[in-house]
Amino acid sequence: MASETTSPLGPDVYDAEPIPESARAEIEALLSSGDLFRYKAASDSPVALLEREFAQFMGVPFALAVSSCSSALFLAMKALGLAPGDRVLLPAFTFAAVPSSVVHAGCQPVLVEVGANYRLDMADFEAKLQQGADAAIISHMRGHTSDMDAIMALCEAAGVPVIEDAAHSLGTLWSGRKIGTLGRIGCFSFQSFKLMNAGEGGMLITQDPDLIARAIIMSGAYEHNWKKHPVVQDRFAAWQNKLPLYNMRMNNLSATVLRPQLLEVPRRVRDGRANHDYVAERLNASPWLSVPPPLAQESRAPDSIQFNLVGFQSDQEAEAFRKAAGDKGVAVQVFGLSKDNARAFWNWQFIGPQSPLEKTRAMLMRACDVRLPARLKQPELDFIADALVAAAEAVKDQGVRHGQAVA
Ligand SMILES: *Cc1c(COP(=O)(O)O)cnc(C)c1O
């Protein structure tokens, strides 16, 4: 997250939930045995069990647990066989780790405009697809789903594989289908600010037997360790000794911390959405704040809220809002205003020249971000909504009075 610290005045929005009590006995057993390596056991290691349970939860045949979502994205590009210099489309509004994974895979990131609703600008996506693309990473940034019907139709017609960056979309549905299962490969994060928390961790899912076989080997299933993955045993011989081993495995302790949290996901999704929608309605009642609605096909799983400042003409005004909210106890990040923000594309100076991206820039200069974890209760939600509405009013009222005084 950003460097903003929580004011003692307001609710704590940064702490995660405790690791479920039910994990404790298993953690103790692991500490006693020291069996932290996933390939120590012949079968049914905690990592293997997590993979099976996650695949079942998502309704897909294959899941591979890895060290982070960034690792999953990197392995996805490698599994697809992307070559050095291949062009990978991705939204200009995402986290710096995503273009970084493209660079890590030796490919060229091509940023696509994102509109004021935080979703891919489909006209720009189509134009850049036509200019030539070898893959598309669809980052559902902050859990906002871009138009997957249009994206899949365009990419299928162009023969371009889609990787879903569902790091922040566990539990999100698109026309009833689980986000992460629509593209060729879906990638998830278990970093602490995501719905399931292992400190670090990730998951790659797919329905394609060759992609999973390649990803398993490259994740570090050296020699015959692929035998400990109870899937696609007929596919591994073809890839034996032919692929690099990037060693991006998950360890058993992380898996043990995660397994009971999978059972919590439906509750976290339900409460997170209810919290978000409650605060969204309160913010939308202010003339100065606007929460873009979900797309019609989308059922969201938010753990934070994003809103745009309306009628804030200058960056100074937007900054005054951020400061006023902070003074009232609610930490706000305006993505484009904080120095060196990892979600502002102009700070990704390692990716090479890009198109001007004026739309995305304009959005980032007025788009605000507030954490809203599922565990918050109504008084805390009211505190946050009250503070944000009052901060906007304070700034705009001052502006109006100042304007009148001058006139
Ligand atoms: C958190 C996040 C990532 C990075 O996940 P890691 O597990 O930290 O590598 C990538 N994309 C999005 C949209 C994220 O929110």
pLDDT tens for the chain, residues 1 to 407: 444 455 568 999 988 899 999 999 999 999 999 999 999 999 999 999 999 999 999 999 999 999 999 999 999 999 999 999 999 999 999 999 999 999 999 999 999 999 999 999 999 999 999 999 999 999 999 999 999 999 999 999 999 999 999 999 999 999 999 999 999 999 999 999 999 999 999 999 999 999 999 999 999 999 999 999 999 999 999 999 999 999 999 999 999 999 999 999 999 999 999 999 999 999 999 999 999 999 999 999 999 999 999 999 999 999 999 999 999 999 999 999 999 999 999 999 999 999 999 999 999 999 999 999 999 999 999 999 999 999 999 999 876 555 544 33
Q: Is the distance from the beta carbon of residue 257 to the nearest atom of ligand 1 less than 6 Å?
A: no
Choosing from 66, 68, 69 the residue with most ligand 1 atoms within 8 A of its CB, the one to mutate for a pocket test is: 69
CA angle 20, 24, 29 (to 5 degrees): 150
Ligand 1 binding pocket includes 166 (Cβ within 6 Å) = no
Q: How far apart are CA 286 and CA 289, in angstroms?
A: 6
Answer whether 168 contacts ligand 1 (Cβ < 6 A): yes
Q: Ligand 1 within 6 A of 254 CB?
A: no
* CB within 8 Å of 164: residues ≥ 6 apart: 137, 138, 140, 179, 180, 182, 183, 185, 186, 187
Q: How far is CA 275 from CA 85, 232, 278, 299, 329, in A?
A: 43, 41, 5, 14, 18
Residue with CA nearest ligand 1 atom 11 = 167
CA atoms within 13 A of residue 143's CA, in its CB half-sphere? 29
pTM of whole model > 0.75?
A: yes
State both tokens at 315: 């960056």
Domains and CATH numbers, the chain: 21-263 (3.40.640.10), 264-401 (3.90.1150.10)
CA separation for the pair 272, 83 (Å, rounded): 40
Distance 363 CA to ligand 1 centre (A): 20
Q: Are 187 and 69 in contact (CB under 8 A)?
A: yes
Structure tokens at 73: 């994205």
Residue 377 C-alpha to ligand 1 middle, in angstroms?
26
Is 348 near ligand 1, meaning CB less than 6 Å away?
A: no
**Continuous H helices in 159-249:** 209-218
d(CA 162, CA 8): 43
Task: Kindly give, in sequence order, each residue whose CB lies less than 8 Å from that of residue 132, ignoring residues fewer than 6 positions away.
Answer: 87
Cα 99 to averaged position of ligand 1 atoms, centre (Å): 11
Using the structure block, give the residue that is written with the tokens 């906007």. 392
Q: Is 191 in the pocket of ligand 1 (CB under 6 A)?
A: yes
The verdict on the CB of residue 384 being under 6 Å from ligand 1 is no
Ligand 1 pocket test, pick from 114, 165, 185, 187 with the greatest ligand atom count within 8 Å of Cβ, gives: 165
CA of 311 relative to ligand 1 center, distance in Å? 31
What the block records as the tokens of 257 is: 């911390």
